[in-house]
Amino acid sequence: MPVNNRTTYVRSGRQPKKDSVTRSRDLVLALKELLDRAGVSCDFAENVTDESINGAPAVRLSEDRLALAPDLYCEYAGKRFWVEVKDKCQRFYWEDTGINLQELVSFYDIHRLKGEPILLVFKDASLDECMVNSAKKEQKEAYQKRWQRFQGKPYGEWLDNLLRRSSRPYPLGSLDHSRGVPMYIVYFQVDLMRSLETNLEALLQHLDNATDTPDMDLTMYLLEKGKGKKKIRCANEANIRKNLAEMVDKYERLRQAGK
């Protein structure tokens, strides 16, 4: 069953990488203009760092440690922060949206070790593109109500707020697939997020208090072939980092073996 009706998606709902990059880049540019009008000075990550991880811009955290960089590096009222932008439909059957676990750990470390908080920004595609035709009528009506809250315009929240304010089972980690590649995705409640067009000033006020990072405490779901989903509780940050390291090692070995 396809994820949704998004016409730029192919192969069971996955969007071609080139199209995804183009759409995301356009969204980053539009968001940069919105922030500029609010007096926020921003630049693209690749312009503010010479470091990289597999070609993606990275932030140097220590002599032997790098973290994936969000899309924009910004400054407002003397305070620096990052913005990560996602062009994706919020999930249809779940009231959430998210980022991959490697990004989460990287962004968490940037805030924790450099004192630069991360604003996560999402933008849904059109309602028709996000809709699932095979869903029941009441499911479509519920999704339409959620979609209409932001009407395809940017919305988001600070990562530290999402980690701190979410209620169980969120933040929710699940082993999903991105363009055929197994990947842990961490989901957050959409109802905790705010419209950037109407709440940007309030969002920026958070910079006055964003001095600490909460512990990462996620409910992880590991998909075991033929056995359904096995629920594994990651009770602390160390377990999450161990999980991520094992996942990266496993799929790097598979890649090298040509599987």
Give the number of other Cβ atoms within 10 Å of residue 56's Cβ: 13
Q: Tokens in use for 143?
A: 């999704």
Q: Tokens in use for 73?
A: 């590096």
| Cross-strand bridge partners of residue 187 | 98, 172
Q: Per-residue confidence of the chain (259 residues) as pLDDT tens digits? A: 345 555 444 333 334 444 455 677 889 999 999 999 999 999 999 999 999 988 899 999 988 889 999 999 999 999 999 999 999 999 999 999 999 988 999 999 999 999 999 999 999 999 999 999 999 999 999 999 999 999 999 999 999 999 888 787 888 888 776 666 777 889 999 999 999 999 999 999 999 987 778 777 776 665 544 455 566 666 566 777 776 677 666 656 666 666 5
C-alpha to C-alpha distance for 85 and 123, rounded to whole angstroms: 8
Name the DSSP letter for residue 180.
T
Compute the radius of gyration of the chain from its Cα atoms. 18
- The reported pLDDT for the residue numbered 115 is 93
- The reported pLDDT for the residue numbered 212 is 78
Whose structure tokens read 């996560």? 120
- The reported pLDDT for the residue numbered 192 is 96
pTM of the model as a whole = 0.84
C-alpha to C-alpha distance for 241 and 256, rounded to whole angstroms: 23
Number of residues in the chain:
259
C-alpha to C-alpha distance for 148 and 107, rounded to whole angstroms: 29
**Exposed e or buried b for every residue in 119-137, given b needs 16+ CB within 10 A?**
bbbbbbbebeebbbeebee
